Chain A
Amino acid sequence: MNAENKVERHTMAVLVDNEAGVLARVIGLFSGRGYNIESLTVAEVDQAEHTSRITVVTTGTPMVIEQIKAQLDRIVPVHKVVDLTTETHAIEREMAMVKVAGTGEKRVEALRLSDAFRARVIDTTHTSFVFEVTGTPEKIDAFIGLMRPLGLVDVSRTGVVAIARGPEAM
């Protein structure tokens, strides 16, 4: 397979006006044109300016990735799009809450492993823990994988947020 057809994973940051329907426009673009969404997060980042930041992780060939960026850019309430993967050195983080139920050995083992992942216990009962764990998506995948045989019952993940290293804004 040559570079032209290689499917790559890219993280994009999209700064939008926080107006009604803007998220539907972005999601509709992906579904309407058949692009993939691996993860999507959104929250207001500037209350005075009413701007929100959407972080979207997508996959595609280089031509498709370029298209996605251009298509995002032409949505009217979009201020700016940055392909964090090609244009910057970006840091990515995700947070998850992971609920593990059980007693005895497994419970102890879960707690021990959570320590290795620097996960925090944010809720506990005699038969369960809720862990809060932060890191790259791979780290969270690994943590969840380890919890599965130890009584994993529920997971809630934020999706990826990302930001470029260094002093510049996006």
Chain B
Amino acid sequence: MTQTFKMDEPLPRLLDETRQGLIGTPMNRPDGPLKVSGRADYAADRLPDGTAHGVLVRATITKGKVTRLDESALAGIEGVVAVLSGPNFVRNPAQGMAGESPVQPGPRVDYHGQPIALVVAETFEAARDAAQRLVVEYDDAGGAEVDPDSASEVETDDPDATGDWDEAWGRAAAKVDVTYTTPGQVSAAMEPHAALAHWDSGRLTLHGSQQMLRFNRKELADAVGVDPSEVRILSPYVGGGFGSKLGIGAEAVSAALASRDLGRPVRVVMARQTVFDAVLRRTQTSQHVRLAADADGRLLALGHDDLVSNLPEESFAEPTTNASQFTYGAAALRFQQSVARIHRTPSGSVRAPGEAVGMVVLEAAVDELAGELGMDPVELRLKNIPDTAPLTGQDYSGRRLADCLRQGAERFGWAQRPKAERDGDWLIGCGMAAAARKNMLTKAAARVRLTGAGAVVETDMTDIGTGSYAILAQIAGELLGLPESKVEVRLADTDLPGASGSGGSFGAGSTGSAVFLAARRIREQLAAQLGCEPGELTLQDGIARGANVEKSLADLVQDELVGEAEIASGEAAKSHLSAGWGAHFCEVAVHAWTGEVRVRRMLGLFDIGRVLNRKTATSQAVGGMIWGLGGALTEELHHDPRTGHIANRDLANYHVAAHADAAGRIEADFVDDRDDWANPMQSKGVGELGISGSGGAVLNAIHAAAGVRIRHLPATPDKVIAALEAAGR
């Protein structure tokens, strides 16, 4: 029944033919009123009768073994039900799209903060009290390495390289050879990780906070040792994920295990500190960038090497040089990654893994090169847009990078920008950066059901605050000629067709395309019933027209028409390199005495192909730009130098950009495009594009304002002051 469509070739631009006028509009999110009135039930909001409460216990050694859980201190606490641990406990969340259980280390401890046990009690208060009082005995192995810079175990890949490096480097007129560092970061989603598990006749139901249910179901099933068909996961509302909920984690697995043991529902909600301890962080990076150009500013050599870190046995390594490999061309290219194996909270995908930290550095280095050349940085970038993808030789799909650069510069007033001006003690300057983020299409299925009364979209896609409920309704409504009010979207239940999930900015494009194809199947059925070709059919406001016949859907659809479709990536992904593109422009003020940096205004102009919903796309882009600003100025994990544990493990001390940091005018807009090779809707991902490069524009603006390069992020006042003092100011 299910039609699988492989994206091999472009499809006609059907969304430009349809008449409903819903696609692209700034439609409000239908889930919005529920959320602002507290009626959206997040995972932790459910509390069926008889639920027991679980609180996770962390390891307080870095490496070794748990030898005993001493419960004697718990004797006086009323309502303690059980202390659980065991071979099924997971060390950390699954990496994105793993589809299997994360590492189950048994009594082994691999990092300080690792969840090692679950205390279950009749009340949350008793469980938390008991979890804090439980005495854990260890066999401490000692000597755990926690510092990536001095790690003895470092795995270095063979470089990806083309061209004759020495020759290109040798004949350059201008060169930049710099090392930047970025600190560890966390996703910092507002909703802490939470799960409510219960078993019924051997079948597990989990209300969780997860981004990718199709994978999470397999991960959870594998972790608890049952068949995936015995697991159902529901995640209708997720209070932000940013990568931290891609894979099944300790809260879900321990809730499931405890519920099975105890024969009653168990809810586990991570404390904020536990979210910091036991959820994947973004690795710190050290990045060595080398750029060489001829006197005209044409790049001759581009090298980008990095050092990242992770725990042993974790396959993920931050793909720092992603965008460096396809944004600009050069005769010689070189990319090499090293992974230090250290015992800190393991690393994984956090908000645009790769680009978020790699592009900041690349774009700051390109700015340094513009300085060396005495060339306008917009001009330098325009000069180096390659014809085909430099490493692979692929054609690019839609790529309006040059338009974003030119039109962005125009709208920002780049040519008339303030240069080294002062406003009292504030030094003013502007910087810019390009944005690029790989666009992906992944396997996704959806079902659309049409009755005379309206349509229902069904898929296990999640909405992590991004707008899936809105855009999937828009896509179905647009194709079926129905207003917003006549389309219901049901998401995030593994009993529904398996979708892409939310991650890698591919959710809207992938699952949206499945909805598109499913609705298109219904259009074919309607055309057949009307007696016309699908191409002749028009659908608008519940009326079908074709072959000189006009009928209301209510008349045309007796019972129910069902369309189900699956999309998968195909030849197009091989023949074409698809990416979102953009340009950031930023004006900052740097305090000449205190080194504080304030962003005064920021403009991002992006190419995301077809805009599916102007409002949600803008929110995503602005949010991404602010994440980038925070990465440049405020965000930083502090690890204890002895144990590796995260010392600033709450949102008071881990500094996500606050409103006052984003108080300037921050605008995002889009160049209208159709990316035919991306997917059947000609759209591309947006969520992670906004963050890509945004911090680079901020750093470059700091340089323009204060004449100092901050190469160790974030650019906190102490570092700006040190740079000012080094420059004699």
* Chains A and B come from one and the same complex: no
B interface residues (Cβ-Cβ under 8 A, vs A): none
A interface residues (Cβ-Cβ under 8 A, vs B): none
